[in-house]
Structures are given as C-alpha cells and as structure tokens.
Amino acid sequence: MAEVLVHVDHVDGAVRKPTLELLTLARRLGDPVAVFLGAGADTAAPVLAEYGAVRVLTADAPEFADYLVVPKVDALQAAVSLVSPAAVLVPSSAEGKEIAARLAVRLGSGIITDAVDVTAGDEGPVATQSAFAASFTTRSRVTRGTPVITVKPNSAAPEAAPAAGTVEPLAVTFGALATGTRVTARTARESTGRPELTEAAIVVSGGRGLNGAENFPLIEALADSLGAAVGASRAAVDAGWYPHSAQVGQTGKTVSPQLYIAVGISGAIQHRAGMQTSKTIVAVNKDEEAPIFELVDFGVVGDLFEVVPALTEEIKARKA
C-alpha cells in the first residue's frame, strides 16, 4: 500500500491533537508515515504509533528551532525523496501552511490549504474546503506532483489504530536558505488552563459589547461553567481587551465547535468566516437587528451585563 507522509506538530515531543487527526485521515489514503522534527521523539513515537504511524522518521538539529520554516522544508523534502508518498499532509497552522507552500514549489506539486476533510478518490486524494467566509463548500484535487494538503484542526475525530511506528532516523542536509531567517528570541505563550480554541467543543466569545478588558471575566466565568474556550472579536482584540491568539474570524482562528456563544458581537462577515460552521450557535446582543441573529439557533435580545452573569449562575445551579 502507498505511504502518506504526515508532518508532526508538537511542543517538545507532546504531539498536538491536530496531528492525530491527520494520522486518522491519512489512513484513508494509505499507510501513515510520521515525520518528527526536533527534540522529544522518544515521547512522541509511541503516540504516533498508537494512531497508526507505520514508520516514524525523525531528525533533530538545532536548525529546526533556531531558524524559521526552511529547515523543516528541507527535512520534509528529504522524507518525500525517501518515501515517494501518495500525499503529504501538514497541519494547517500558520507555520504548517508556509512549510507546505515551499515544499509544493520545490516538488513542483499542487497544494491545497485549509482542508476540512480528505477522502480517497480514483485520481488521488479529494479535499473539502470552505470558501468565501464558509458560504461555499468545495471539493478539490491536486493534478500535478505529490499532493500537498494542509488540514484544519477539528477535521476528524482522532481514532487509535495501533501500528508498528518503527523509528528511523531521517538524514537531512540543510540548504543555503535554511539559515536565512534567525529566531533571535522566543517567548512561550502562557497557558490559560482552558481548552485550545480550535479544539474546544464549546467556545464563548466576547465582542465590543463587553465595553472593556475589565468585563472579560464575565465571559471567562461563563466559559468555565461550560468547560469552554474563550474567543473574542477583532474589535475586542484591537481595543486591547483580549489577546490576539483568541481572535475568531478571517484573520484569527476558525472554530467549528458543537456550541458557539457570541456575546456582544454584531456578526460581521469577517467574524462569521471563522465561526459559521459551528454546529449550534447562540447569541446575546442588545440590538435585535444585529446580523449575528440571522445565524443563531437561539438568541437573546438583551443586555449582556444582565444576561451573562445570570446565565452563568443558572448553569452552575443546574450542574450542581
């Protein structure tokens, strides 16, 4: 059976969930071969094997952490030469898309980004994507070279399927461009203790209606009562009320949770682009004309400063 390369996204060997989703999708196309770059392969390999990796190609070198993107492209290119895969799957993170972009140009291959599903087709993998702020769903295929496909988080439920996961060192020769862009400092983002925005089953987002950073604890309390992640509109982020990493929308994260609660958010097209494929949508807004209400399964027209604290209490009471 053909092999399919999966680029592993990890933090010091802790494999991030989207990679497990990719391994799950890769099994539809062939035998997954994981490419693990950087330190921590010992921790990662058993996990990758459990989710179906027949082989785990590993390479570790300071270049992977000290320089931007290109060293990883060099490594993936080496893996492609070694394996001649039927496709290369890469998580759709900012870095993942850039790695995929350069790899595609090098291989002379077509590239599909931000797939939300991948299936096997007669003429190669078929990728499902959302277009135009999720108002269209498209199905596309790569027609030249080795298909390079980046896949969004939450595109499949990770399913364990134990395989050999044989660890094999990957020989990588870095090209002249590998050391072009130096990472001179790195500050890790502090964990909030809440679920990852793109992976959460429930997301509660606040917008300009919150009227100040000092009111975001209202959103956090509601989120915590539901075990949810916290999101924000760009207006709230631009005002400095919440970090950009929490922004939902076209220039932030795309989320597709079971439940999305929009609080004090009008529902501009760029915000909808990041949340309108959520299964259930709920909104609280004092303006009954707000476009967000066009999307909701349930909406409350009212003052968030009254509705949200009362809702949090009600949820806690019901859960108690």
Partner 1 sequence: MSLRIVVCVKYVPDATGDRRFTEDLVTDRESVDGLLSELDEYAVEQALQIAGSADDAEVTVVTMGPADATDALRKALSMGADKAVHVEDDDLVGTDAPGTSLVLARAIEKTGYDLVVCGMASTDGTMGVLPAMLAERLGVPQVTLLSEVSVADGLVTGRRDGDTASEQLQAALPAVVSVTDQSGEARYPSFKGIMAAKKKPVETLDLEDLEIDAAEAGLEGAWTTVEEAVERPARTKGEVVEDEGEGEGAKQLAGFLADRKFI
Ligand X SMILES: Cc1cc2nc3c(=O)[nH]c(=O)nc-3n(C[C@H](O)[C@H](O)[C@H](O)COP(=O)(O)OP(=O)(O)OC[C@H]3O[C@@H](n4cnc5c(N)ncnc54)[C@H](O)[C@@H]3O)c2cc1C
Q: Write out the binding residues for FAD.
A: 208, 233-234, 247-251, 264-271, 285
Angle at 90 between CA 112 and CA 149, to 5 degrees: 20
Residue 233 interacting with ligand X (CB under 6 A)? yes
Which of 85, 274, 311, 312 lies at the binding interface for ligand X (CB under 6 A)? Answer: 274
Identity of the residue, 83 or 149, whose beta carbon is nearer to partner 1 in the bound complex: 149
Which helix or strand (DSSP H or E) is residue 102 part of?
Answer: helix 94-107
Q: Do β-strands 87-91 and 14-15 pair in parallel, antiparallel, or remain unpaired?
A: unpaired
Contacts of 2 (CB under 8 A, 6+ apart): 29, 30, 31, 85, 86
Residue 33 interacting with partner 1 (CB under 8 A)? no
Alpha carbons within 13 angstroms on the beta-carbon side of residue 7 total 29
Binding mask 161-180 toward partner 1 (x if CB under 8 A, else -) reads: ----------------x--x
From the list partner 1, ligand X, none, pick the one residue 275 interacts with, judged by a Cβ distance below 5 to 8 Å according to partner type: none
Residue 320 interacting with partner 1 (CB under 8 A)? no
User: Within 264-283, which residues bind partner 1 (CB under 8 A)?
Assistant: 269-270, 276, 280-282
Q: Which among 4-12, 45-53, 109-117, 260-268 is the span making contact with ligand X, rule CB under 6 A?
A: 260-268
Which of 50, 60, 95, 224 lies at the binding interface for partner 1 (CB under 8 A)? Answer: 95
From the list ligand X, partner 1, none, pick the one residue 208 interacts with, judged by a Cβ distance below 5 to 8 Å according to partner type: ligand X
**What's the DSSP call for residue 189?**
P
260: which 2 tokens? 């999305």
Beta-ladder partners of 58: 36, 169
Cα dihedral sign, 123-127-131-136: positive
Q: Which among 53-61, 68-76, 78-86, 207-215 is the span making contact with partner 1, rule CB under 8 A?
A: 68-76
**Shortest distance (Å) from residue 229 CB to ligand X:** 15
Binding mask 177-206 toward partner 1 (x if CB under 8 A, else -) reads: x--xxxxxxxxxx------------x----
Contacts of 216 (CB under 8 A, 6+ apart): 206, 210, 230, 232, 236, 241, 242
Which of 43, 93, 192, 211 lies at the binding interface for partner 1 (CB under 8 A)? Answer: 93
241/263 Cα distance (integer angstroms): 14
User: Within 226-245, which residues bind partner 1 (CB under 8 A)?
Assistant: 226, 234, 244-245
* Structural Rg of the chain based on CA atoms: 21
